[in-house]
């Protein structure tokens, strides 16, 4: 009797998981979570003047925290960066920066279609509903870059600063691994592992505009930045199951290069000038909205960034 009840409950549980399966497949979401991390980094690059004005040399120390979720999958952790810059003339500034963002990947119990465009030929019929558990990995984004900015006050924009630059970055995904169990169809109950471990190198040109406005001891700096990581890469993956063990990537399989998307970020940094401390209230709001539009399947994206300009 106990075994019968256990089997019945297991069947019901798998059926409920299949019915509740999310719209976007696991490969789609596994790509978008680290790409959201990349967008959050572009949104917090330490390249804005934030009251540096015409000082000959400037420094910035930036710290942020981001948390992104898709269903029961999440990527979260700190974003850390430093920059230094030097005036080349009364209007132009040259700077350099470095960043290190060690985030964690985690899941509880998530249900969505299993898809493997990185490995089109598997014994599993795909897409097929599955349950995914036991993700406990890391996503690290690190790199360095150079930027050039020019201040001006001409035209209808008033006080303004244009910025352009180039950065190199590496996104490293480690233990990005799920246990899966198929929850529908003739192979229901089949179990295995799928992982998306790998690293992706990009050279990313970027350009942006800030419009600083001072009110007493406060500086308000709306800003926008566009970044384009190059080259785009195929999504790397690895899947195992009963009798098979397959590696691949979507580019090699003829299914396109998807990793590394163009990024547009918007912010409004508020600086209390006497303390040289800034909080980017704008990215907190805009990244929460934009990531859900740019990367489908992302359900929440929270980003809080603080900068100190000695």
Mean pLDDT computed over 35-40: 98
Backbone φ and ψ for 218, nearest 5 degrees, come out as -115, 140
Give the tens place of pLDDT for each residue, 145-157. Answer: 999 999 887 767 7
Mind listing the pLDDT tens digit for each residue in 241-252? 999 999 999 999
Quote the mean pLDDT of the chain: 91
Contact between residue 262 and residue 203 where contact means Cβ atoms under 8 Å apart: no
How far is residue 7's CA from residue 29's CA, in Å, rounded to a whole number?
A: 31
Which pLDDT does position 54 carry in this prediction? 55
In angstroms, the Cα distances linking 282 to 21, 33, 162 are: 34, 21, 18
Judge whether 123 and 157 are in contact, CB under 8 Å: no
pTM of the model: 0.90
Q: How far is CA 298 from CA 28, 114, 287, in A?
A: 10, 17, 11
Strands 218-227 and 236-241: unpaired
Instruction: Identify the structural domains of the chain with CATH numbers, from first to last.
Output: 22-124+137-173+199-234+250-308 (2.40.128)
Q: What's the rounded Cα separation, in Å, for the pair 175 and 206?
A: 30
pLDDT-derived band of residue 55, with 50, 70 and 90 as boundaries?
Answer: low
Report the Cα 86 to chain-centroid distance in Å. 30
291 pLDDT above the threshold of 60: yes
Q: Determine the length of the chain.
A: 310
pLDDT, tens digit (0-9, with 9 covering 90-100), for 139-193: 999 999 999 999 887 767 778 899 999 999 999 999 999 999 999 999 999 999 9
Q: Sorting pLDDT into bands at 50, 70 and 90, what band is 7?
A: very low
DSSP state of 116: -
Over the stretch 259-281, which tens digit does the pLDDT of each residue have? Answer: 999 999 999 999 999 999 999 99
Kindly state the helix (H) or strand (E) to which residue 10 belongs, with its residue range. Answer: helix 2-19
Q: Which two tokens stand for residue 116?
A: 């493997």
Supply the pLDDT for residue 157: 76
Q: Is 221 helix (H, G, I), strand (E, B) or coil?
A: strand
Which residues 6+ apart lie within 8 Å of 13 measured at CB?
Answer: none
Burial of 2 (0-12, 13-18, 19+ CB in 10 A): exposed
User: Which among 279, 235, 241 is positioned nearest to 260, based on CA atoms?
Assistant: 235
Spatial separation of the C-alpha atoms in residues 190 and 167, rounded to whole Å: 44
pLDDT at 9 over 60: no
Q: Is 15 helix (H, G, I), strand (E, B) or coil?
A: helix
Rounded Cα distance between 291 and 296, Å, is 8
């Amino acid at each position: 009797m106990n075994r019968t009840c256990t089997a019945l409950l297991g069947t019901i549980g798998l059926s409920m998981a299949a019915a509740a399966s999310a719209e976007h497949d696991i490969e789609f979401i596994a790509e978008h979570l680290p790409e959201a991390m990349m967008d959050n980094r572009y949104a917090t690059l330490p390249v804005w003047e934030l009251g540096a004005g015409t000082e000959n040399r400037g420094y910035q120390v930036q710290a942020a925290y981001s948390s992104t979720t898709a269903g029961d999958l999440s990527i979260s952790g700190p974003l850390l960066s430093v920059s230094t810059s030097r005036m080349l003339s009364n209007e132009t500034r040259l700077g350099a920066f470095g960043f290190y963002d060690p985030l964690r990947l985690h899941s509880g119990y998530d249900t969505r279609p299993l898809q493997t465009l990185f490995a089109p030929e598997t014994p599993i019929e795909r897409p097929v509903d599955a349950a995914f558990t036991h993700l406990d990995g890391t996503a690290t984004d690190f790199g360095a870059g150079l930027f050039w900015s020019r201040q001006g006050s001409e035209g209808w924009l008033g006080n303004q600063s244009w910025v352009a630059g180039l950065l190199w970055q590496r996104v490293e995904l480690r233990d990005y691994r799920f246990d899966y169990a198929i929850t529908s169809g003739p192979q229901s109950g089949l179990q295995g592992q799928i992982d998306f471990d790998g690293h992706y190198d990009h050279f990313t040109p970027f350009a942006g505009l800030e419009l600083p406005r001072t009110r007493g001891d406060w500086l308000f700096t709306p800003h926008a930045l566009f970044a384009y990581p190059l080259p785009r890469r195929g999504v790397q993956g690895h899947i195992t199951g009963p009798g098979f063990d397959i590696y691949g990537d979507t580019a090699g399989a003829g299914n396109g290069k998807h990793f590394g998307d163009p990024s547009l970020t918007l912010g409004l940094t508020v600086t209390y000038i006497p303390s040289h401390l800034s909080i980017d209230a704008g990215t907190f709001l805009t990244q929460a909205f934009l990531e859900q539009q740019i990367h489908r399947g992302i359900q929440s994206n929270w980003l809080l960034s603080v900068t100190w300009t000695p």
